[in-house]
Amino acid sequence: MTTAARRQPQREKLLRIGEVVRRLAEEFPDISISKIRYLEDEGLMAPRRTQGGYRLFSEDDLERLKTILRMQREEFLPLRVIKDELDAPGHKDRKRRRPAALGTEDQTVTLDELRERAGISLELAKELEEFGLLSPRGSGGDKRYPESDTDVALTCARLARYGVAPRHLRTFRTAAGREASLLGQLVAPSLRARNNDRRTQGLRELQQLAELSSELSSLLFWRDLRDLAAQ
């Protein structure tokens, strides 16, 4: 290779929309060309165009599209909320984690690690714990927090910027506990079974119930907000 060739930057490979669909099909079986076009029309995607009008997607575009589809599938967020989240300053520095699969143990962190990752003060961390929004295990110097509590703390900190104090968020914690308790009662016999196959089936059903419950809660929540906005 010549010196000139080494100095020349490698040209980024761009993908046509059909190739994007093929790349995503395994993880998102329902993906289609029309859905990608719809996301573009809604302002969530901005692929480049050839002179002939064909869409060209970079690897960054592909990653953004994966993020959008995961947020729809796992968090049931409306497109406008997803767009605001993706366009928010510092979004790329915030890594969204999928909840640990049911039946597996969540990793834990210390209070200092949680505070550093969420960017919160000791005072706020204590308030969140006081109102049940953080769920530590152990006590004293052995106290540790589920890794998912980092995301809880980060979200609570962002709400605090709007004047939403931890005491106001106790309602969310109570509602979540009631929903989880209801779903747990529905599959309790399977989860307590000694037969591994039956227990595995119970965990699978609980996962499916959780996804449907989360979707219903989101739909009802946004319907009520639309009613408030229309007043």
Residue 11's pLDDT is what? 63
Which of 113, 101, 104, 177 lies closest to 145 in space, CA to CA?
Answer: 113
0.75 surpassed by pTM: no
Whole-angstrom distance, CA of residue 146 vs CA of residue 76: 23
Give the CA distances from residue 48 to residues 25, 29, 39, 81, in Å, rounded to whole numbers and listed in that order.
22, 25, 14, 24
* Predicted confidence (pLDDT) per residue in 53-88, tens digit: 899 999 999 999 999 998 888 777 778 878 877 876
Q: What are the pLDDT tens digits along the chain (231 aa)?
A: 444 444 444 566 899 999 999 999 999 998 999 999 999 999 999 999 998 889 999 999 999 999 999 888 877 777 887 887 787 654 554 555 555 566 666 689 999 999 988 889 999 999 999 999 999 988 877 889 998 898 899 889 888 888 899 999 999 999 989 999 999 999 999 988 889 889 889 888 988 888 888 888 888 888 888 888 888
DSSP string, 47-90: -EE-TT--EEB-HHHHHHHHHHHHHHHHH---HHHHHHHHHSTT
The strand pair at 48-49 and 108-109 is best described as unpaired
* Predicted confidence (pLDDT) per residue in 172-200, tens digit: 999 989 999 999 999 999 988 889 889 88
Residue 104's pLDDT is what? 65
Residue 106 amino acid letter: D
Residue 7's pLDDT is what? 47
Six token digits for residue 103: 């039946």
Identify the three-state secondary structure at position 129: helix
The set of residues, in sequence order, having a beta carbon less than 8 Å from that of 31 and lying 6+ positions away, is 21, 24, 25, 69
**Cβ pair 149, 134 in contact under 8 A:** yes
Q: Which residues pair with 144 in a beta bridge?
A: 137
**Cβ pair 97, 133 in contact under 8 A:** no
